[in-house]
Amino acid sequence: MKMLEFVLKNYKNFNARATRDATLAYWRHVESGGKMFWAVAGAMSSAQLGVTLAPAIRAGLIHGLSVTGANLEESLFRLVAHHSYKDFPEYRYFSKSDDTKILEDRMRRVTDTSIPEDEAFRAVEKFIVPMWKDAARNGTRKFWHEYFYDLVTTIGEDIYEGDPEECWLLAAARAKLPIVVPGYEDSTFGNIFASHVKLGECEASVAKSGIEYMADFYDRYRELSSGEAGVGFFQIGGGIAGDFPICVVPSIKYDLEEPVKPWAYFCQISDSTTSYGSYSGATPNEKITWDKLTEDTPMFVIESDATIVAPIMLTALLECRQDPAAANRLIAAATGEKAPARA
Q: What is the pTM of this model?
A: 0.95
Spacing of C-alpha 175 from chain mean position: 15
Average pLDDT, the chain: 95
Largest Cα separation within the chain, whole Å, is 65
pLDDT tens-digit readout, 81-117: 999 999 999 999 999 999 999 999 999 999 999 999 9
Residue 268, by phi and psi: left (phi above 0), alpha (psi -120 to 50) or beta? Answer: beta
Contact 22, 317 (CB under 8 A): no
**Three-state SS at 202:** coil
pLDDT above 50: residue 310:
yes
Nearest CA to 343 out of 55, 28, 56 is that of 28
Cα(222)–Cα(307) distance, integer angstroms: 31
Q: pLDDT value at position 281?
A: 66
Q: pLDDT value at position 339?
A: 58
Contact 316, 24 (CB under 8 A): no
Contact 53, 172 (CB under 8 A): no
Give the pLDDT band of residue 326 (cuts 50, 70, 90).
very high
**Three-state SS at 180:** strand
pLDDT above 60: residue 340:
no
pLDDT above 60: residue 29:
yes
Helix (H) or strand (E) segment spanning residue 213: helix 210-224
pLDDT above 90: residue 246:
yes
Spacing of C-alpha 223 from chain mean position: 19
Amino acid at 144: W
- What is the pLDDT averaged over residues 57-66? 98
Nearest CA to 42 out of 8, 67, 17, 6 is that of 67
pLDDT above 60: residue 40:
yes
Give the pLDDT band of residue 272 (cuts 50, 70, 90).
confident
Q: pLDDT value at position 3?
A: 98
Listed in sequence order, the residues at least 6 apart from 193 whose beta carbon sits closer than 8 Å to its beta carbon are: 132, 185, 202, 204, 207
Give the pLDDT band of residue 251 (cuts 50, 70, 90).
very high
pLDDT above 60: residue 334:
yes
Give the bridge partners for 233, in sequence order: 37, 266
The torsion of the CA quartet 240, 246, 251, 253, rounded to 10 degrees, works out to -170
Instruction: Give the number of other CB atoms < 10 A from CB of residue 198.
Output: 9
Cα(161)–Cα(222) distance, integer angstroms: 38
pLDDT above 60: residue 341:
no
Cα(260)–Cα(253) distance, integer angstroms: 6
Cα(224)–Cα(290) distance, integer angstroms: 21
Amino acid at 160: Y
- What is the pLDDT averaged over residues 236-264? 96
Cα(331)–Cα(313) distance, integer angstroms: 14
pLDDT tens-digit readout, 193-237: 999 999 999 999 999 999 999 999 999 999 999 999 999 999 999
Query: Residue 338 has what DSSP assignment?
Result: P
CA neighbours closer than 13 Å in the CB half-sphere of residue 184: 28
pLDDT above 80: residue 179:
yes
Cα(62)–Cα(38) distance, integer angstroms: 7
Q: pLDDT value at position 343?
A: 46
